[in-house]
Chains A and B, each alone.
Chain A
Amino acid sequence: MNYFVGIDIGSTAIKISVADETKNLVGYKISASGSMFYKYAQEALSELLRELGIDEKEVVYTVATGYGRKLFKEADENISEITANAIGAQQAAKEYGEIKTIINIGGQDSKAISLDGEGNVVNFAMNDRCAAGTGKFLDVVAMNLEIGVDELSDYHFKSVGTPLSISSTCAVFAESEIIGLLGNGHNVEDIVSGVHYSIAKRIVKLVKRVGVKETIYFDGGPALNDGLVNAIENELGHKIFVPEYPQITTSYGAAVLACDAFLSESAN
């Protein structure tokens, strides 16, 4: 049987998806990027194939994407994460509806992508410069508050006071603001919801630049944080769709593209 691999090497994590000839997701793996992208990517791939009982020869086409895509030399092709994200979202949500807007928050960047009815990228906007308001930022916040990143959501929904906005979404400056708020006895819940709303406001600005059109799809690791999802929905004033595995949309898109590329090559 033929299998297709999409491998997304991001700043924080390596995401690998394997699809079959019907473009169904048959397996995925997420591991830390660490210091040696290439080595870790190869190891993670072999491990995933072993787990799935797939022989390496059965993998007939591999597409790499993400910041580190050019480091993965074995790939048959590589594409930008924006294209891969669009394809992945379209495919992952096909039973749900037509995706017109994608919000992606990654480890160190965030994007808003606008799609036409056929899943083609019409426009996109990315955050400028730094890790402001990205996954890394949430890591730093959780660390300062001495809670786990996976607890942020619970704290968000427990907040009953006014969310305490963080004026700086710079990971470095926010740290001192948060410490200041804690020092003045403010509760963690209101700080967390304030942080979520600060990020949400920022991302909604990006979305407005490309145009808010439903259905809106949210992926990337931070989409696992339901509190952040809630904050973005409130800022947008629209419901958003979060896929079952928000971290792997882009790698899945690369796998789907691998399948298309292989089928069109063999048809010729």
Chain B
Amino acid sequence: METEHTIETPHQRQNRHKAMEAISVLNALKEDFKFPIQSMGYFYDRFEKVYCHHEPLHEGKAKIGTMCIQIPSEIIYALDAVPIRLCNGFSTDDEIGSDLLPQKSCPLVKATVGWFASDNFFDKPDITFSPTTCDQKTKAGAIIESFGHTVIDVGFPRTKESEESRHYWRESVKSFAVKLSKFQGKKLTRSNLERAIKKVGYVQSLYHKLTEFRKNKAVPILGVDMFLVTNAFFFDRIDEWIGAVEKLVSELERRANDGVNVAGKASPRIIYTGSPPIFPNYKIPLIIEQSDAIIVADETCSSNRMFNDMAAVDEWNLYDMIDSVSDKYLKGCTCPIFTQNDDRIRRIIQLVRSYSGDGVIYQAFAGCQVYEMEQRSVLAAMEREGIPILYIESDYSPSQHGQLTTRVEAFVESLKNRKRKKK
């Protein structure tokens, strides 16, 4: 007999798949760890609202898609629009994108392309700006454009040190500002840009306040929770995000005073680096923290790299401000797409030192060539410094969980042994 059920549309099916992915990670964050933080509730709810209930946050606002962190959010906010960072962590979208890109592509890029291919958004960007960072992102922009979406390339240099690069990037940012200003029908002015720079600067200062607590011996917040907080900034209403983080800062202050430690007594302190963990692909960070280690700092573009360096403005006039903002996104960036990337190594070592790290875990997405390639120099540098490091390649598939857990556990145990012997 024929059944009487109505069948889900492809969008409904994708939404259910994404909701199922999202809820299982949110449940793990909420339920698998001791001493939950009350003010994290805002972030759990926000992710559930967006990814399980598919509710838009920015109706009536112009939404500007960004393909990488290099598109200055200061300029977007100044022009009264909302940046939506399109780096995607869903395995559902990765599967959709897999049909459109070569098999060995980066899962993050595949997921972003898959997202556009299915055209299934909670807050659909009206226009997308794509900085020409890695090859895959650069080409993905063109593929997304072929689906009928407006994508504008923003030329980004591959060398960081030269004066020509700096000049080229400043010009790119100016041209981006002009295009966005035309699109919005609004003028970028001294006052609206200054306001936006100060607001984003405040956001960064909040981030730094949060990370300070992680230097403590008793760590009051999990690394996975921190990833969720910074990840929310990809799409959240900025003022609500600020309010929630302010609450989080004061709760962490109280916890720090009370000596609350979310880690175990012997938990090794991990510095996380490599391909960005983007919700709900928290596979590796979750395994690390479920294996009795604690992530105390990270060097990734979904978190630290997004907030670390502030725009340093000398003269608060329009062109100086644009130049300072541009420099922040080039000079401060530790992305492995650059020819030379000693900055990244220095940053990792500095994080190990200032956060008393016991070891580094370096994740590369299988198919993310630049991270895979830079593995060699980072591993060599860590060896020179006597810093233990574990290199893991993974993708968005829900399998391999067992093997990954065994590898991480073995590394964590070796760090614990080192610690014991030192004592």
Residues of A within 8 A of B314 (CB): none
Interface string of A229-268 (1 = CB under 8 A from B): 1100111011111111000000000000000000000000
Instruction: Check if B398 sits within 8 Å of A167, measured CB to CB.
Output: yes
Cα distance, A243 to B20, chains bound together (Å): 30
A167-B398, A184-B31, A240-B3 known; A234+B13 contact, CB < 8 A: yes
Instruction: Check if A165 sits within 8 Å of B7, measured CB to CB.
Output: no
A237-B8, A237-B10 known; A163+B3 contact, CB < 8 A: no
Cα distance, A184 to B31, chains bound together (Å): 7
A163-B16, A235-B13 known; A230+B5 contact, CB < 8 A: yes
Cα distance, A197 to B13, chains bound together (Å): 11
Cα distance, A30 to B356, chains bound together (Å): 67
Residues of A within 8 A of B256 (CB): none
Cα distance, A184 to B5, chains bound together (Å): 31
B9 → chain A closest CB, angstroms: 8
Residues of B within 8 A of A237 (CB): 7-8, 10, 13
Interface string of B58-77 (1 = CB under 8 A from A): 00000000000000000000
Interface string of B372-402 (1 = CB under 8 A from A): 0000000000000000000000000010010
User: Could you count the A-B residue pairs with CB atoms below 8 Å apart for me: how many are there?
Assistant: 58
Cα distance, A164 to B16, chains bound together (Å): 11
Residues of A within 8 A of B16 (CB): 162-163, 197, 234
Residues of B within 8 A of A161 (CB): 23
Instruction: Check if A233 sits within 8 Å of B7, measured CB to CB.
Output: yes
**CB-nearest residue of chain B to A167:** B398
Interface string of B1-34 (1 = CB under 8 A from A): 1110101101011001001111110010001000
Instruction: Check if B27 sits within 8 Å of A164, measured CB to CB.
Output: yes
Residues of B within 8 A of A96 (CB): 2
Instruction: Check if A239 sits within 8 Å of B2, measured CB to CB.
Output: yes
How many chain A residues touch the partner (CB < 8 A)? 25
Interface string of A197-209 (1 = CB under 8 A from B): 1000000000000
A162-B52, A237-B10, A243-B1 known; A167+B20 contact, CB < 8 A: no
Cα distance, A96 to B3, chains bound together (Å): 13
**CB-nearest residue of chain A to B8:** A234
Instruction: Check if A238 sits within 8 Å of B1, measured CB to CB.
Output: no
Cα distance, A54 to B196, chains bound together (Å): 89
Residues of B within 8 A of A241 (CB): 1-3
Instruction: Check if A244 sits within 8 Å of B3, measured CB to CB.
Output: no
A250 → chain B closest CB, angstroms: 19
Cα distance, A155 to B102, chains bound together (Å): 41
A220 in the interface, Cβ–Cβ < 8 Å?
no
Residues of A within 8 A of B2 (CB): 96, 239, 241
Residues of A within 8 A of B52 (CB): 162
Instruction: Check if A242 sits within 8 Å of B3, measured CB to CB.
Output: yes
Pick the residue among A184, A226, A242 that contacts B27 (CB under 8 A): A184
Cα distance, A239 to B1, chains bound together (Å): 11
**CB-nearest residue of chain B to A173:** B402
**CB-nearest residue of chain A to B30:** A184
Instruction: Check if A239 sits within 8 Å of B19, measured CB to CB.
Output: no
Instruction: Check if A167 sits within 8 Å of B24, measured CB to CB.
Output: yes
B99 → chain A closest CB, angstroms: 12
Instruction: Check if B20 sits within 8 Å of A197, measured CB to CB.
Output: yes
A205 → chain B closest CB, angstroms: 11
A97 → chain B closest CB, angstroms: 10
Instruction: Check if A226 sits within 8 Å of B8, measured CB to CB.
Output: no
Residues of A within 8 A of B12 (CB): 234
Instruction: Check if B3 sits within 8 Å of A162, measured CB to CB.
Output: no
Cα distance, A165 to B52, chains bound together (Å): 13
**Most B-side CB within 10 Å, residue of A162, A163, A186:** A162
Residues of A within 8 A of B27 (CB): 164, 184, 186
A194 in the interface, Cβ–Cβ < 8 Å?
yes
Cα distance, A186 to B31, chains bound together (Å): 11
Cα distance, A121 to B257, chains bound together (Å): 71
In chain A, positions 1-47 with a C-beta closer than 8 Å to chain B are none
Pick the residue among A162, A226, A229, A240 that contacts B19 (CB under 8 A): A162
For this complex, 26 residue pairs linking A to B, each with C-beta atoms less than 8 Å apart, are A162-B19, A162-B23, A163-B20, A164-B20, A164-B23, A164-B24, A167-B24, A184-B27, A194-B20, A197-B20, A230-B3, A230-B5, A233-B3, A233-B7, A234-B7, A234-B16, A235-B13, A237-B7, A237-B8, A238-B7, A239-B3, A240-B3, A241-B1, A241-B2, A242-B3, A243-B1
List chain B positions with a Cβ less than 8 A from chain A. Answer: 1-3, 5, 7-8, 10, 12-13, 16, 19-24, 27, 31, 52, 398, 401
6 additional contacts (CB under 8 A) given A96-B2, A162-B19, A239-B2: A164-B27, A167-B24, A186-B27, A234-B16, A241-B1, A241-B3
